[in-house]
């Protein structure tokens, strides 16, 4: 019997499970046996693992340290075996605030290691380290002393921006190969292949929010619902980009998928790859589709965008999500032109919408017919002029809204995200009715 049964009745402490998964390669599975956060992707409440990987060849590489929920127990595990003393490279498949919190402490232990990431990720890292408050230095020095290392307040970390298809030779046949596979939700994402072990480190692809003792997917059939739910939450709204990522990774012939969450994919690799292909096609073949355009300065507008997209996809309408910060105008124009409706979201920076959103708005006004349903949302710190701009411009142009404009101050709460999901569902329902009315009108004419 699989150990992936409902874990809610078994209260366990968070821990780190270490196991060998390939030639000179370990997985560190930081485990939470209960729901980790309130976002919908964790709603099945089966726990989760944050998977990090350590390749110990002539040189040592650590792939994807976990988020701050696991910082302490993860660093304690590294310290116990003195792994941190041998880390030459820290590879980040993507960057977010949670991972940065762990990285800052890890770099005190492995201070001479080189951080490897994509260019978009490097921009986020530079900003995060530049904003480090000076009053954190005393606490960092105390922590460094606790680990028995010398703290250097002036030292900056080594950073290498990896190029698509670049190679990194760790020795002993571990010549890592990098692929840049951006998506709207993770525009900085890279995947890494190690030919020595046959492992493809897939980050947000092929995962599941499930916690158990099994390192590999021996009972993979019991994971089917969790895998599909994970895909629907993370990838359904970015299916074209996920399909492009699959195409880009097709040249590799891995033995294993090593994802960010859940068990290592060994027994069902081919099956899961086909499932991802099928799920992507199902999304793109739906009768109705929505273009969701946004930028997100601090991640808050991105959270709103994801929740709205979840509500739309749960209602059976396809969503094409576009992060305008990383999209060409032609891509935005095509998405809007081929959509049945559009939703546009923006943060407010210095009292204005970012340039990318102003550009996207101009494309929408010149491309989208007035019969298309519209939606507006955004987060802000002290004022929300960007949302007001979007609402006014679209209203004056004659567009009808599928939900009331959403304005959120600072980081959205669980209740706010639930409201956004409901707004997405409302948008989908109104879109169906609008489409039905247009068809009826055309038939009468």
Q: For the residues 42-48, what does the mean pLDDT come to?
A: 90
Q: For the residues 215-224, what does the mean pLDDT come to?
A: 96
Nearest to 190 by CA among 235, 241, 245, 240: 245
Task: Give the tens place of pLDDT for each residue, 260-288.
Answer: 999 999 999 999 999 999 999 999 899 99
Nearest to 304 by CA among 374, 402, 406, 229: 406
* Residue 2 pLDDT greater than 70, yes or no: no
- How many Cβ atoms from other residues are within 10 Å of residue 8's Cβ? 12
Pairing of strands 114-117, 87-91: parallel
Domain borders along the chain are 15-281, 286-444
For 220-254, the DSSP string reads: GGGGHHHHHHHHHHHTGGGHHHHHHHHHHHTT---
Q: So what's the pLDDT on residue 153?
A: 43
The token duo for 214 is 């099994």
Nearest to 278 by CA among 252, 227, 243, 251: 243
Greater confidence (99 vs 6) lies with 99
Sign of CA dihedral 99, 49, 268, 243: negative
Residues with Cβ within 8 Å of residue 146, at least 6 apart in sequence: none
Task: Give the tens place of pLDDT for each residue, 170-194.
Answer: 999 999 999 999 999 999 999 999 9
Confidence (pTM): 0.86
Q: How far apart are CA 304 and CA 414, in angstroms?
A: 11
Please count the residues of the chain. 445
The token duo for 39 is 């976002």
* DSSP assigned state of 352: B
Q: Which CATH class is domain 15-281?
A: alpha beta
Q: Which CATH class is domain 286-444?
A: alpha beta
Helix axes 414-444, 300-314, angle to 10 degrees: 50
């Amino acid at each position: 019997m699989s150990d992936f049964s409902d874990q809610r009745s078994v209260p366990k402490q968070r821990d780190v499970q270490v196991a060998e998964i390939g030639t000179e390669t370990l997985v560190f599975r930081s485990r939470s046996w209960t729901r980790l956060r309130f976002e919908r992707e964790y709603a099945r409440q089966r726990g989760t693992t944050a998977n990090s990987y350590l390749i110990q060849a002539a040189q040592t590489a650590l792939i994807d340290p976990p988020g701050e929920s696991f910082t302490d127990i993860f660093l304690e595990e590294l310290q116990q075996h003195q792994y941190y003393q041998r880390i030459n490279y820290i590879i980040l498949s993507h960057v977010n605030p949670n991972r940065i919190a762990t990285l800052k402490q890890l770099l005190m232990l492995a201070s001479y290691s080189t951080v490897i990431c994509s260019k978009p990720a490097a921009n986020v890292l530079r900003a995060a380290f530049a904003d480090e408050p000076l009053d954190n230095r005393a606490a960092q020095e105390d922590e460094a002393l606790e680990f028995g290392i010398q703290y250097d307040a002036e030292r900056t970390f080594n950073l290498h921006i990896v190029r698509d298809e670049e190679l990194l030779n760790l020795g002993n046949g571990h010549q890592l190969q990098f692929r840049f596979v951006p998506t709207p939700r993770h525009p900085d994402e890279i995947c890494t292949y190690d030919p020595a072990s046959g492992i493809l480190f897939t980050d947000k692809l092929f995962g599941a929010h499930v916690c158990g003792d099994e390192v590999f997917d021996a009972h993979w059939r019991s994971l089917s619902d969790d895998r599909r739910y994970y895909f629907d939450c993370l990838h359904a709204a970015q299916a074209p980009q996920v399909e492009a990522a699959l195409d880009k990774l097709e040249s590799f012939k891995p033995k294993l998928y090593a994802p960010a969450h859940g068990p290592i994919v060994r027994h069902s690799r081919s099956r899961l790859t086909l499932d991802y292909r099928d799920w992507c096609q199902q999304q793109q073949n739906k009768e109705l589709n929505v273009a969701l355009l946004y930028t997100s300065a601090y991640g808050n507008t991105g959270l709103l965008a994801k929740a709205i997209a979840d509500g739309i996809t749960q209602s059976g309408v396809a969503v094409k999500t576009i992060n305008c910060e990383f999209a060409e105008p032609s891509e935005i124009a095509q998405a809007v032109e081929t959509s049945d409706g559009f939703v546009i979201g923006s943060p407010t920076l210095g009292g204005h919408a970012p340039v990318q959103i102003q550009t996207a708005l101009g494309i929408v006004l010149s491309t989208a017919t007035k019969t298309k349903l519209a939606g507006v949302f955004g987060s802000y710190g002290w004022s929300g002029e960007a949302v007001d701009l979007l609402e006014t411009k679209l209203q004056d142009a004659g567009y009808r809204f599928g939900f009331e404009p959403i304005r959120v101050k600072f980081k959205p709460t669980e209740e706010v995200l639930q409201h956004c999901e409901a707004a997405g569902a409302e948008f989908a329902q109104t879109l169906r009715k609008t489409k039905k009315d247009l068809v009826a009108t055309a038939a009468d004419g």
